[in-house]
Structure 1
Amino acid sequence: MHRPIARFCLLALCLLATPLSAFASAPEALLRDLGRIAPALNSQALRHALAAMQCAVNHGAEPARRLAVIDYSLPSSQRRLWIFDLQRKRLLLQDYVAHGRKSGENFAQVFSNQLGSHKTSLGLFRTAESYRGKHGYSLRMDGLEPGLNDRARERAIVIHGAAYVTPNWVAKHGRLGRSLGCPAVRPEVARMVVDQLKGGQFLFAWHNDPRWQQHSAYLQCEPQRVADIVARQQRLPRS
């Protein structure tokens, strides 16, 4: 065997032996820049959010202008929602966000993708269309992770404002009020959140639960599986 061919074959074998998740590592420069402007955000949560987003884009998803990250390992009494402008590398908001009433009290500990569970779902979402509903100006989302959050639209998991998401509620009850699984936000910021995130941005709901992380299609970044998910998701409304 000629030496150039031999070297090529060895390289190919090395690539095949490399874990797929290694190709979804977060872009280090962006990770560093966003970490600098959001020092309170768990570095692993941010790294996983960027890696999941990059995996989606690498396999056909349209790049987003903005990224929202929720760290559900934090208590609801803390500001655990971050919204980034990815183009300008700016932090647009750090604020409160509720979790599902069956997920836990102050801490979200149990997660579900099931209809009627009233629990929060984890993983990568793509935001879709804004609308006016019973909670006012709201934003629909599509879960991208099979078995983890892909029933979000069917479950009516949306971003909306809620009166139980306020510092006063925390002062009185020691936690925020809880939703039916929606990432509800303060009424004062609801319009801004919806307007900044509508139309095909990414939202990543994170927790330090290793069982969820091992089953996430985007953290594992399995090429064919992700490509199929992206193809299905691109047929959904974004306006």
Structure 2
Amino acid sequence: MSSGDDFDLSDSSSSDDSDLDELLQDDDLEATMLLLAVKDLEDRAKLLNRRRGFVFGRNHIQRNRLLGHEQLMEDYFAEVPTYPAHLFRRRYRMRRSLFVRIVKDCELHSNYFKQRRNAAGVMGFSAFQKISAAMRVIAYGIPADYTDEYLRIGEDTTTESVRRFARMIIKLYGPTYLRAPNEDDTKRLMEINEKRGWPGMLGSLDCMHWTLKNCPKAWHGQYCGKSKDATIVLEAVASQDLWI
């Protein structure tokens, strides 16, 4: 390094100290700190607004929730619905009476599924809307906002409905339906099937091939059968009343 590039660390340190002393003695320091504090509060407020979601009046959609409820009830739950029972069963994967029972149970045990007015006095979504949206997402794996145009229910509400609906099903029906049969249950199922002409049968077995999308190339030969794609076999046993 040339002599022109040499520098003294002690001189630099003393210079920095003097600059700091001048800054601390500056009358504008208090105003500067105040401005920095205000800026920090503004940044925190912006971050909080982003976490809360949209602000009313900006990106807000007037969905007419009541119209979505009335249309749903007319199509499927009226005395003479637009779509008959077999179409309801195909689209909801269950009978209408069972679906109504589930809706009533969820309304009874969760305030989230009760139709209420919000702070602005606007009537909220009905349990039929929320659970219909949740059921279609679960049954078909569709995006959360796929039924927005029909049910008039947004993506965030649908996602929350799916989470709460799943928890409620586990809470209400888990002890009865989401457990393995014990010895008494097995004996009862055997007796039922023996009376139906199938002695020794626990339930009906069904299986299906599920595509193993991320199967490693080295394993393809182990999982390929009649199809050229790698698949795994999923088996399920069901009793005649679908208890298991």
Larger RCO, structures 1/2 (Cα 8 Å, 6+ apart): 1
More helix per residue: 1 or 2? 2
TM-score, structure 2 as length reference: 0.22
More strand per residue: 1 or 2? 1
Greater Rg, structure 1 or structure 2?
2
TM-score, structure 1 as length reference: 0.22
